[in-house]
Structure 1
Amino acid sequence: MRGLEVIVVVLAAVLTMTWLARRLRWNEPVMLVAGGCLIGLIPDFRGPALRPEVVLLLFLPPLLYWESLTTSLREIRTNVRGIVLLATGLVLATAAAVASVGHALGLSWPLAFVLGAVVAPTDAIAVAAVARGLPRRIRTILRAESLINDGTALTLYAVVIGVAVEGLAVTWTDTAVRFLLAYAGGAAIGCGCAAVVVALRRRLRDRSVENALGVLTPFATCLPAQVLGVSGVLAVVTCGLILSQAGSKVISAGSRVQIVSFWEVSTSLLNSALFVLVGVQTPAIVSGIGPVSPGHAVVTASLVSGVVIATRLLWLYSVPYLIRALDRRPVQRTLRYGARQRFPVAWSGVRGAVSLAAALAVPTATAAGRPLAGHGLLVFTAVTVILVTLVLQGTTMPAVIRWSGLHSDPDETAEERRAHRRRAGGPSRPRQATEHTAGGRRRHPERTAPVRRRKGGTTGYRGHRCAGRARTAPRPDRRRARRPDPPAGPAQHRRHRSAPASVAAGHRGDQDRAGPARLYRSAVVAIGSRTDRPVRRRPVTPPRCR
């Protein structure tokens, strides 16, 4: 009953806080964490409701798998250098900076590096929640960074936790080899699992079995990576990126509709439940600081939070400019952003459940049985960093996006049209600039000048599709022209009022020899040869606006 109670309470909190956040237009992750904190104050829920292996093996694989499925591999290849620098170099720099501050505040070097590895990675779910409204390219960079830096941080975490708990000696060669094996092994397992899944999907025709295979894929990919000691995060991400390209070729349309709907609902619930569980754990972690004074714990957590934010700002305003000075290729110049447009990327370093799971997974005692000094302070600091980044950066991100002048992409229709034109060999028309009108709508500059109403046409804007209805000539009369009366006389042909004159004059022999079909064609020719019939011109319409 205990597990069922937790599930019911957490799902009820997810529904309530999500509805309240959308109704009040507040930040959803912050509201979910606040609701979890209220639940954690209840005495029956103050126990360890969130185990680290539950997050790393139950929550993380499906969430990372869905994020990788919905991430553009083409844009990752375009921005691969920046993503690699953020996912590896920035993680190591953040871990080193946090370790220096932690050691200065009383932690041992091994435990300080454990704290640095815990708070170094950004969270893919939290970043996706706060990065709405950014252009697609920046969102892709942030999502790809958060997908890869989890593997970097967890590999570093495995190295330093062995030093802190088991007292192992660390050398630079051993650390480099472990990083290389973690990355190469995770990528190889991800590629192998993706190849197996593609081969199975080519032979499956049952929609239910196909969808079951899609649900099994992230867990089946993460399991061998965990058993072999390589990066399970990188294995799941690699498998998802490969299947995002090959899935449309081996998965039927009906199965894709069902599996996409399933993943959208399930990942939304898992994401929200994870934020609620982070809040549930917070009261118990705050009360379990240990022998450290609350003032010292607050100062340590505040300084570490400031170092985490400042390191990301310093990295993004120094390293890219250094590389810009070295790389002067024209292709790289088209990918550059200004200082103001770069600030949302520097302000998106939100931490989440991965950091909490790693902090909770730190053992409370060493291999010799002695208590691990500073364990409570480490967990408290990690939770504080998560809350500070969620509240401070998550709530101010909309204002930062507005200040930077960046706008989200309207849709992918224009990009699809450009791709079709490029494939057909036609010119690729560049995207036209837009400007905001008084009503809040964006309009092309050439559409701002109204067109004078013309006879038979409509008013509109130059270049707009409604301007195509304005014709260069008056609209012709669409009413049927009245046919002239046939000549009067006793020999008038009664069946064909508009027959030729030879038929109306009574030449019956010619009528019998010609036959009814020829007489009908002659009548049509005679009717069409009238000069009083208006000529309908084909309207000239400009090309559709894009």
Structure 2
Amino acid sequence: MSHRSIEIVVVVVTAVLALTWLARRFRLSEPMLLLAGGALIGLLPRFGDIPLPPEVVLFLFLPALLYYESLTTSLREIRANLRSITLQATGLVVLTTAAVAVLAHAAGLSWPLAFVLGAVLGPTDAVAVAAVAGGLPRRTVTMLRAESLINDATALVLLAVALEAAVEGVPFSWSGTTLRVTLSYAGGIATGLAAAGIIVLIRRRWRDPMLNSGLSVLTPYAAFLPAELLHASGVLAVVTCGLALSQAGPRLIPPTARLQAVSFWEVTTFLLNGALFVLVGMQLPAAVRGLASFALPHALLLASGVSAVVIGVRLLWFYTVPYLVRLLDRRPGQRDRRIAARHRLPLAWAGMRGAISLAAALSVPALTAQGLPVHDRDVIVFITTVVILISLVLLGPPLPALIRWARLPADPTQAEEERLAVREITRAALTALPEQAARLGTPAPVADALARELADSGRHGQAETAEHARRLRLALLQVQRATLIRLRDHRHIDDIVLRHLQARLDAEQLRLDEDQDNARAAPAEVRDGSVTHGSAAATPERDAERHGS
């Protein structure tokens, strides 16, 4: 890495940290402040000519961000809302692409380049959506996140087809495009499942926490790159792999490795998300300077019109297509899941575009296959940049107020499921306690004390920490984890509930392991039980906070 590259990394990360602190300190919009800060950096002579290589976004940032999003989303909610998510991730992208293309062609772009612009702006951005998705119920968040995870795959296939027409002169065909989308989806899903299967086989044999954590970092790229080499959807490969591993991971990953991986991914995605907003902002001055094909007022007018189309098509979709679906599907189960028009507005409004669109626009080559310049490429980059800016400025800040206005129904099931899970894992631990105590030779007073603690509080963390109690607790933690997984597999609780309670159990095991390490290093009179170790005030929640879970 060159000295210049290191300088850029330091500047971008410093900007992310400083601007995020300012946004949180003064309760400002983080995406907007990061974007504005990036634009100011882009105005500086030293940083005004820094390009954003599309490969950096599409091959370095995108797999990591998609993987973490897929690991932390709710597979049960995706299954329950699969039809809506699929329609939004395919039909809405195609409709947006076509609408933008019609307007762009009317404004002077050739049909191939007009469709390139439409495909570039077709998908919402997972980073931008995640940044404003707070305060939404679980079902709404899952639908938005899943849509933004999958619609990239549709848009990138449409972009490839449009680029072939614009750059190589390949005739466009709806049947050919449909076949490519289908094969891309099927290949991406198959590659993701294969990658997940290989990762599971490796994890069954690797118990070392550091190796498991390193494997977690490698996984998204191990799914993405083979899919791209096979001309399948790397996006769907990563998403499929992440969803599959979210189901298998709780059985395979040791608690220490899980806590390490969670902490790593939380920090990494925070920095990557922030860096993308800063980098997009840094491209704004360059996009204005590079505009040559259109006069600036004309380009701004077209960009405003395209923004209106992008936003308007999404609003139109959410207030027409669901009603058409209702006419065709009147099953009781579907009627129960219908969303009122008022509740649908946050879904319709959260259509921000982001770095994926900019990377797609920058990937448009400067020359055709014949070596001729691609006219209006600068216009595509400029319009894309302005649409990203307008969508973040116009849609992002009002969204919290719209969420409050929509009066979305609370999601009581998560709290109910968590209470159910706590009851069940406590019951399972109490049931297994006599057998485990007998197997481990735990003295009766220690087992009785732990039984009273479980019965009183339903959680660990307050009883004697002698070696007998520690070993018994570790055995019971395994029982409780197995009970949690069984509840999730039988769909009594959601993945989100499992992860939350699993983090508490992992933190408890880490505390018990630390107690053992402290005991080994302690004087003999402490090890024989005359002095207890650890803080009586320690709780799973505090340990979870302390260890980043």
- TM-score exceeds 0.5: yes
2:248 to 246, 249, 254: 246
Tell me the distance in 1 between the aligned counterparts of 2:421 and 2:254.
24
Tell me the distance in 1 between the aligned counterparts of 2:53 and 2:174.
32
1:260 to 259, 262, 266: 262
Q: Give the aligned partner of residue 10 of structure 1.
A: 12
Worse overlay, 136-145 or 22-31: 22-31
Worse overlay, 415-424 or 161-170: 415-424
1:340 to 339, 342, 346: 342
Worse overlay, 404-413 or 1-10: 404-413
**Shift in Å at residue 420 of structure 1?**
7.5
Query: Any conservation in 2 of the 1:165–1:365 contact (CA below 8 Å)?
Result: yes
1:277 to 279, 302, 305: 279
TM-score, structure 1 normalization: 0.76
Q: Partner letter of residue 343 of structure 2?
A: Q
Structure 1 residue 331 corresponds to structure 2 residue 333: yes
Q: Give the aligned partner of residue 363 of structure 1.
A: 365
**Shift in Å at residue 317 of structure 1?**
0.2
CA distance 1:26–1:231, shift in 2 (3 Å): same
Q: Partner letter of residue 205 of structure 1?
A: R
Query: Any conservation in 2 of the 1:110–1:161 contact (CA below 8 Å)?
Result: yes
**Shift in Å at residue 26 of structure 1?**
1.1
1:315 to 317, 337, 344: 317
2:398 aligned counterpart, secondary structure: helix
Query: Any conservation in 2 of the 1:133–1:408 contact (CA below 8 Å)?
Result: no
Query: Any conservation in 1 of the 2:121–2:357 contact (CA below 8 Å)?
Result: yes
**Shift in Å at residue 85 of structure 1?**
0.6
Question: Alpha-carbon deviations, 1:242-294, whole Å to 9, x = none?
Answer: 00011001111111111001000001001101100000111001111113111
Tell me the distance in 2 between the aligned counterparts of 1:231 and 1:204.
29
Q: Give the aligned partner of residue 93 of structure 2.
A: 91
Tell me the distance in 2 between the aligned counterparts of 1:250 and 1:393.
41
CA distance 1:253–1:7, shift in 2 (3 Å): same
Question: Alpha-carbon deviations, 1:4-25, whole Å to 9, x = none?
Answer: 1101111111011101111111
Tell me the distance in 2 between the aligned counterparts of 1:192 and 1:417.
36
Question: Alpha-carbon deviations, 1:322-369, whole Å to 9, x = none?
Answer: 111221111111111111110000000011110000000101121111
**Superposition pairs of residues 104-503 of structure 1, within 5 angstroms:** 104-406=106-408, 409=411, 412-418=414-420
Tell me the distance in 2 between the aligned counterparts of 1:269 and 1:355.
19
1:121 aligned counterpart, secondary structure: coil
Q: Give the aligned partner of residue 491 of structure 1.
A: none
Tell me the distance in 2 between the aligned counterparts of 1:329 and 1:417.
31
CA distance 1:291–1:261, shift in 2 (3 Å): same
Query: Any conservation in 2 of the 1:343–1:404 contact (CA below 8 Å)?
Result: yes
Q: Partner letter of residue 248 of structure 2?
A: A
Question: Alpha-carbon deviations, 1:115-148, whole Å to 9, x = none?
Answer: 0000010001110111111101000000000000
Tell me the distance in 2 between the aligned counterparts of 1:302 and 1:410.
41
Tell me the distance in 1 between the aligned counterparts of 2:293 and 2:151.
33
Question: Alpha-carbon deviations, 1:287-326, whole Å to 9, x = none?
Answer: 1111311111011000000000000000000000111122
CA distance 1:357–1:84, shift in 2 (3 Å): same
Query: Any conservation in 1 of the 2:293–2:379 contact (CA below 8 Å)?
Result: no
| Structure 2, unaligned runs of 5 or more | 427-549
**Shift in Å at residue 173 of structure 1?**
2.4
**Shift in Å at residue 371 of structure 1?**
1.2
Q: Partner letter of residue 199 of structure 1?
A: L
**Shift in Å at residue 234 of structure 1?**
0.4
Q: Which structure would you say has the larger Rg? A: 1
Query: Any conservation in 1 of the 2:287–2:378 contact (CA below 8 Å)?
Result: yes
2:28 aligned counterpart, secondary structure: coil
Q: Give the aligned partner of residue 504 of structure 2.
A: none
**Shift in Å at residue 417 of structure 1?**
3.0
Question: Alpha-carbon deviations, 1:82-141, whole Å to 9, x = none?
Answer: 000100000000000000000010000000000000001000111011111110100000
Query: Any conservation in 2 of the 1:190–1:236 contact (CA below 8 Å)?
Result: yes
Tell me the distance in 2 between the aligned counterparts of 1:281 and 1:77.
38
User: How many aligned positions are there?
Assistant: 425
Percent identity, aligned pairs only, is 60
Tell me the distance in 2 between the aligned counterparts of 1:184 and 1:277.
33
Tell me the distance in 2 between the aligned counterparts of 1:67 and 1:124.
8
Tell me the distance in 2 between the aligned counterparts of 1:423 and 1:260.
23
Q: Partner letter of residue 93 of structure 2?
A: V
Worse overlay, 164-173 or 147-156: 164-173
**Shift in Å at residue 423 of structure 1?**
11
**Shift in Å at residue 172 of structure 1?**
2.4
| Structure 1, unaligned runs of 5 or more | 425-546
**Shift in Å at residue 398 of structure 1?**
0.7
Question: Alpha-carbon deviations, 1:409-457, whole Å to 9, x = none?
Answer: 4793422334688999xxxxxxxxxxxxxxxxxxxxxxxxxxxxxxxxx
Query: Any conservation in 1 of the 2:293–2:375 contact (CA below 8 Å)?
Result: no
Tell me the distance in 1 between the aligned counterparts of 2:80 and 2:162.
33
CA distance 1:260–1:381, shift in 2 (3 Å): same
Question: Alpha-carbon deviations, 1:450-486, whole Å to 9, x = none?
Answer: xxxxxxxxxxxxxxxxxxxxxxxxxxxxxxxxxxxxx
Q: Partner letter of residue 39 of structure 2?
A: C
Question: Alpha-carbon deviations, 1:192-221, whole Å to 9, x = none?
Answer: 000000010000011111111110000111
**Shift in Å at residue 405 of structure 1?**
0.8
Q: Partner letter of residue 80 of structure 1?
A: L
1:412 aligned counterpart, secondary structure: helix
Q: Give the aligned partner of residue 459 of structure 2.
A: none
Tell me the distance in 2 between the aligned counterparts of 1:172 and 1:390.
32
Question: Alpha-carbon deviations, 1:157-177, whole Å to 9, x = none?
Answer: 111101100101122222122
